[in-house]
Amino acid sequence: MSFSLLNIASSGVRANTELLETASKNIANVNTEGYVRERTEYTTTVDNQVGQGDTYRLLNSFAQDQLNRDTSNKTYFDQFLTEASRVDTLFSQDANSLSTSINTMFNSVQEALNQPTSSVTRSLVMSDAESLVDQMDRLSTIVYEQSDTVNSQLEILSEEANTLIQNISELNKTIAGVDGTSNEAGASSAYNERDLAIRELAELIDIETLETDSGEKLVFMGTGESLVMENGTFNLFSLQGDPDPDFKELYLDVDNNKAVPLQLDSTQIKGEIGGLLAFRDEILVPAQNQIGQMGLVLADSFNTQNALGMDANGELGGDIFTIPSVNALPYQSNTGSASMTATLEAGQGSELPASDFLITFTSATTVEIQPVDNYGDPLGDPSVADISSGILNSDSITTGESFGLELEMTGTAAAGDQFQVKLNSFAASNISLATNDGSDLALASPIRGLNSIDNTSEASITISQITDVTTGSFTTSPTGLTNGEITITKTANDNEYTISDSVNSTTVTITPPAENILSQAGGSFADYGFDFDLEGTAETGDVFTIEFNEGGFDDNRNGLALAQLQNDDLVRQNVVSSASADNHNSFNQAYTNLVTDIGIITSQAQTNSTAFTALAEQSEAWYESLSGVNLDEEAANLIRFQQSYAASAQVLATSQTIFDSLLSAAR
């Protein structure tokens, strides 16, 4: 009897000692990150003794997997919101408003219209134009700096992810070596370290896990790509920029770099890395492209209209802004020797969408032009162009449109070669003034219409439109009409007029209303690049004259057209739109839409961040309800185990007393 009591008491002391050790370990690690609460349980043997105890981690794998998923979503929106809020604040500040600079410049144009001969008001226009250029550069620089920050953070976070992947793989090997053995309980720290590394990896990128029979945990991306595999193998992340080295994409290096790296779909990635990529693709890329688009369209439209007027020096207007060229970026897989530069075709600014372009050679002399969205996916149908002359513009398009691009190629391309054109994103910080001289503003019209003083009617002519001054209608040294003044004389016949210059003469019947008379006259008169209307009813013998506007510096007719550019719908909204849709905005509307879009996206991110924070907190509570250390519970266990230990020790002492009494009786 005493022997049985001794064995029972000894096993009880041993068991309660281990229970106290487990409770003490839980309490000691209450603040240890990644620690999973442990429990020791015993069974009773046939002779009522305490059997061998099993110590195991209290873990709900379903709660753990859900926590990892919710953590990835939470950190995705947290990262996105942090970055987006900063840009939203910068763009919404009045000091950074592009609309303010645009309005200021056009207000100065209006002032110059009131005093077209004033050098002061002209100089003010040029000063405000310089401020506008600086503002576009400043906004563009803000976006570029954010892009550089994204690249730096991607480098750091991808390295952190790679380190975690390698640690998980090493811990898998350690766990596989003890799984199912008597050493498994003593290796709980390895399990905890691995689970913590997996959770930290889930903060960086969305993952799923699968436990094998050997105790290893295989780790996959949410989209299915393998990160940690069996037997210590793993794949790591890398960042590459093809064709743009400054635009990093996330790749997965598979088979220990023996296979071609796998490019990952940035739209499907979560976690902090996914949040950074989404911020870049959804905010930075469109913002940079739209700023550049507005700058190019404004510069092109202003140059185009200024060229149709006469400046303060009596010359035809020239460029006010310098439109930059950009090198097209060749893909690394290209086999030809071609290189390309891209710019905006003069006068085609309203055709330019706020996108990048993919140029694909279908042969050495034919290309496809494909606008692409923020993620590089195609927009609409590609255009086809003949580039055998080395130049691609609206004249060389055989199918579709040129989208306002003008490309110049040197060298020889091979079929399949591709180039990326990022004209918009490059342009905003590289547009400059072509002149600082206010006298170069062409506020006057280069031609004027006169009524003969001998006319007997009240009819008069007005210049209806000037579309081109490069058709040979004007001379430049000195500036004037090539064939001299144009005379229009009303004949005796109804609606018949004689039109002549120093070279050509024709009699034409004008169909009322008498609009665009030179176009109705046809022949060489239709190629002048300008036209006029006749208002009122002319009498027989009435003579009207169109002549060069020599000395007409007090004229502001072309300046009115320059000022109207502020309100014209010139900024293209979409690559693809229906024929009935309004596909263009004014400059102010375009910038307002940009700021509004950034604000809406940021607000949506705020809502999503709040929602997924709540979900992550719920998952954390679910997970911690089993795996987390509860000090109150452990304190109660300590008292219970201590009392049980004391009772077992008392039984042990009692059995020892009985045994001693038996020995004494036997003597």
In angstroms, the CA 499 to CA 531 distance is 13
pLDDT tens digits along 198-224: 999 999 999 999 998 888 999 999 989
Respond yes or no on whether the N-terminal peptide bond of residue 378 is cis (omega within 30° of 0). no
Tracing tokens 């229906």 back to the chain, one arrives at 578
User: Is 359 in a helix, a strand, or coil?
Assistant: strand
Which of 191, 195, 206, 343 lies closest to 265, judged by CA? 206
- Euclidean distance between CA atoms 191 and 171, whole angstroms: 8
> What pLDDT digit, counting tens, does each position of 444-466 carry?
999 999 999 998 998 899 888 88
Which amino acid is located at 429 in the chain?
A: S
For residue 439, give the 3-state DSSP assignment. helix
- pTM check: above 0.85: yes
How distant, in Å, are the alpha carbons of 9, 31, 268, 296, 323 from that of 345? 96, 65, 37, 10, 10
With a CB cutoff of 8 Å and minimum separation 6, the contacts of 386 are: 365, 366, 396, 398
In angstroms, what CA-CA distances link 319 with 233, 437, 440, 642? 62, 11, 8, 92
**pLDDT at residue 1 in the model:** 46
Cα separation, 143 vs 145, whole angstroms? 5
- For Cα atoms 123, 125, 131, give the angle at the middle one, nearest 5 degrees: 105
Q: In what order do the strands lie in the sheet with 356-361?
A: 329-330, 418-421, 356-361, 366-372, 383-386, 397-399
Q: Given this model, what pLDDT does residue 50 score?
A: 63
Give the H/E segment covering residue 136: helix 119-178
The contacts of residue 423 (CB under 8 Å, 6+ apart) are: 292, 296, 326, 342, 343, 344, 352, 356, 357, 405
Positions of the chain with pLDDT lower than 70, given as ranges? 1-4, 44-52, 180, 182, 185, 257-258, 577-582, 659-660, 662-663, 666-667
Of 604, 612, 549, nearest in space to 311 by CA: 549
* CA atoms of 562 and 132, how far apart (whole Å): 16
Contact criterion met (CB below 8 Å) for 637 and 23: yes
DSSP characters for 219-253?
A: EEETTS-EEE-GGG-B-EEEEE-SS-TTS-EEEEE
Q: Which residues pair with 44 in a beta bridge?
A: 50
Contact 207, 221 (CB under 8 A): yes
User: Across-strand partners of 410?
Assistant: 339
Task: Give the span between the Cα atoms of 87 and 617, in whole angstroms.
Answer: 28
Give dist(CA 440, CA 445) in Å, integer: 13
Residue from 151, 92, 95 nearest 601 by CA: 92
**Number of Cβ within a 10 Å radius of residue 567:** 12
pLDDT in tens, 529-574: 899 998 888 899 999 999 999 888 889 999 999 999 999 999 999 8
Phi, psi of 91 (to 5 degrees): -75, -25
149, two tokens: 């920050």
pLDDT of residue 579: 64
